[in-house]
Structure 1
């Protein structure tokens, strides 16, 4: 009776002591709180929508679809050509803008919110196929966002916090979110007792095709992950392979039937993209060095299971990226995420152990004092210290991201030094420049002006489907050359119907052009006589 009385009432007596919190519970709480703070930051970034990189082309794509869903034409120049930017996701956004009448940038904020939700839920679903540990999803999110390098890296299709802050509204974010859901769905089907019905495999195939159409480079990463999932599942039997064949065929049909551009024609477009993507292979230690912690975490997984899904995923991704470097196909570097993602997830899972969601309840069972259990705890503790330290270093490297949601004068000096000022945009030209007007612009201006509905003479981005792209670029260079005769400029203006000129370099002062407005960064808007 005394024993029962003490155990039941101990919590209510003044002299009773509460049991100390378990270190694992404390670590789990810290990881979940940190992940929640990062998510709050990302939500605020969706509202802020800082501008850098490719936001202009995506806004221009929504502009064209908003005005014509069936025949939008080239998104950047006044030409009737197809464009790979007209993807299923952008069609949804363009239709939303057309039906609701919302501003294009409001629609892009909605796109950022949808992409963020899809990405977070996709990571959660996929990590649950690898571990049932309650801290696994939070650690996975932190690793994907922070486990990069000591130098912030910005490129669409890469999930570093600094990169995602500026690309959250891009189709690449939405597509990677779809990819995580795709891998989780495929894993569940392959682990199922009946390997899924025909409708399930058709759905997987259609989803694969949609992913490739929405963002081709992220689609390659999704495809590599899918192959790794199939290999890791040890799929066997004619029925399974027949279903896989049907899924692939369904995806190919989706790609072939898409009416807005010829997906398979893009396979010939690699040569024009190599120089742009060579930078992906530069400074690998500074940009991706912390991922080596994840690579090390994959080694014990490989020793336990040669077909571990993350190990196979990483191996295939590293093979693609290495082949791109060795052959000079630097655009293959866009497949880096196929090597980075499994390594980053491997680091997160090393902290919580190797438990799988299937049958994880019995994993790690044994007496508390067993040597094997103590050893596993020491190993997990070591990984927690190593990964936690790497996350702190990676987070500090990207701390300048706070500047996108906190006023610059409100940042500590040490943080302000890492802040990167986003682009200002060209909204200041809209009182004069109307939808469909042709603007002569170069460089960054040519990448931003179309976001407001205008066209440029030369596209601000490589355009495989625009046959006279080279000539347009050459004439733009001639136009902005200081010693070009006025008669040559008038001829170019007449040929392309140019009504306005944006001069970023101050080379057109004293010409026959009439000054209309001046931008916040010293640009001048001229009216063509």
Structure 2
């Protein structure tokens, strides 16, 4: 007869599993609402262009025939779904968000199972990845804090990170035996796919792969097969027709300026992860080639090098520091030697997770709205962007709109173009000239004739601005939130 597990052990498994299930249910409800912030407009615009032309979509933001790194295999698939089904772009993004969430959760489950057989380990890992951050809210694409995930769940970075966990799990398992040529080539293709889907997440995935290989100490024949797989992945990057992957290495200073904030307020944003650093130290004492410790060390090396050399975009490798530490914190709860030590560790981790959950509790507002939240919770809620659906009855697909930077990050999501892109674009040769034209147009001392010339040069049909943007040759058509006005250009 099989012995029943102690009730305390059953509760120890059930509690993290129930908590993780509630968090994932919250994320599903967030997907239904799909709050808008950050780069969502860019990804919606990318799907818009692909649904109209899968082969030659052009620039996603401005009316120019240029490549774009946003045309990844994942976005190509979503664009094909939009084209074949006729579904709206935002419905397709919700489908993509759900697929990304499933890919992430199954990837975490598979990878954690390679590190621990304990049934509660995957649920604890999900909780640590989402909640073990710091007392200062932090949102950024490719970072898995609960609030950050709520705002970026439809982004390619989430799907790519889910693929990364699957890659690490697959690689860990096959390195425990004899790896075949077919498997090695498949691993290489998956690695290349991740890099194409989200380049920064691809760097994190690569560091995890390197740590896994170093930890496993494979034979020379295995290394040869893995090298062939890497070569195949690099070939995929080389032949991808939508943009030149290797040209991204020469990206300009705009990317460095944007990523400089990644190096500020580190303790406030990520302080709770120090618990995971302690766990990594304990794991390293037990195994000098622990894969999570090696992963963490490689991430620290790249992140530190970026800060020291001024290559602040290297800060996007920070998840390679955070993820192994967060996983180690979860795993120590189920793998520490004595039961008393595990119980003590679980208590400390529970307190840390509670602090992290309270920091990000405003995420509830993306499901129920601010008015339904208690005042203390509402104070932590950040209102998402309103969007520019109010211009769509008049502005059609392909129309060019003159607008400042923030509107330019949203308007292309509905099909129009803007004069200047709302985001840095390394493949747009006249990006600086376009930015200057927009700045000059909205400057108070710009003569009316100069404004008119800018409008004609870029084929502008609409202007979005305040009431002060009125001109004799502009006809007021609609008023939107915040006193914004849509003007039609009279030819």
Identify which of 265, 268, 286 aligns with 2:250: 268
CA distance in 1, matches of 2:486, 2:445: 20
CA distance in 2, matches of 1:230, 1:157: 23
Change (3 A) 1:168 1:188: same
CA distance in 2, matches of 1:188, 1:482: 63
Kept in 1: contact 2:66–2:428 (CA 8 A)? yes
The Cα shift of 1:296 comes to 0.7
Report the secondary structure of 1:445's partner residue. Answer: helix
Match of 1:321 in 2: 303
Match of 2:215 in 1: 232
The Cα shift of 1:513 comes to 1.8
The Cα shift of 1:22 comes to 3.6
CA distance in 2, matches of 1:227, 1:142: 26
Report the secondary structure of 1:517's partner residue. Answer: strand
Match of 1:129 in 2: 114
Q: Does 1:424 align with 2:386?
A: yes
CA distance in 1, matches of 2:221, 2:486: 65
Report the secondary structure of 1:521's partner residue. Answer: helix
Match of 1:294 in 2: 276
Count of paired positions: 488
Report the secondary structure of 1:422's partner residue. Answer: coil
Match of 2:367 in 1: 405
Q: Does 1:342 align with 2:320?
A: no
Match of 2:190 in 1: 207
Identify which of 464, 483, 487 aligns with 1:522: 483
Change (3 A) 1:118 1:443: same
Q: Does 1:251 align with 2:233?
A: yes
Q: TM-score if structure 1 supplies the norm length?
A: 0.91
The Cα shift of 1:20 comes to 11
Change (3 A) 1:144 1:79: same
Return the index of the structure with the highest Cα Rg. 1
Deviations along 1:168-196, one digit per CA (max 9) or x if unpaired, are 0000000000000000001111012x2x2
Change (3 A) 1:21 1:520: farther
Identify which of 38, 43, 46 aligns with 1:53: 38
Deviations along 1:397-434, one digit per CA (max 9) or x if unpaired, are 00000000013221111111111100010000000000
Report the secondary structure of 1:191's partner residue. Answer: coil
Gaps of at least 5 residues in structure 1 are: 1-6, 8-18, 355-374
The Cα shift of 1:21 comes to 5.5
Q: TM-score if structure 2 supplies the norm length?
A: 0.98
CA distance in 2, matches of 1:88, 1:154: 25
Kept in 2: contact 1:480–1:507 (CA 8 A)? no
Kept in 2: contact 1:458–1:473 (CA 8 A)? yes
Identify which of 284, 293, 310 aligns with 1:311: 293
Match of 1:149 in 2: 134
CA distance in 2, matches of 1:278, 1:229: 29
Match of 1:167 in 2: 152
Q: Does 1:331 align with 2:309?
A: no
Identify which of 173, 177, 181 aligns with 2:162: 177
Q: Does 1:221 align with 2:221?
A: no
Deviations along 1:44-90, one digit per CA (max 9) or x if unpaired, are 01111000000000000000000000000000000000000000000
Q: Does 1:492 align with 2:454?
A: yes
Deviations along 1:121-152, one digit per CA (max 9) or x if unpaired, are 00000000000001000000000000001111
Kept in 1: contact 2:280–2:328 (CA 8 A)? yes
The Cα shift of 1:272 comes to 2.4
Kept in 1: contact 2:207–2:320 (CA 8 A)? yes
Moved more, 271-280 or 154-163: 271-280
Kept in 1: contact 2:71–2:242 (CA 8 A)? yes
The Cα shift of 1:521 comes to 2.5
Kept in 1: contact 2:131–2:357 (CA 8 A)? yes
Match of 1:43 in 2: 28
Deviations along 1:307-329, one digit per CA (max 9) or x if unpaired, are 10000000000110000011111
CA distance in 2, matches of 1:507, 1:329: 40
Q: Does 1:74 align with 2:59?
A: yes
CA distance in 1, matches of 2:269, 2:471: 45
CA distance in 1, matches of 2:367, 2:155: 19
The Cα shift of 1:159 comes to 0.3
CA distance in 2, matches of 1:339, 1:107: 32
CA distance in 2, matches of 1:91, 1:186: 26
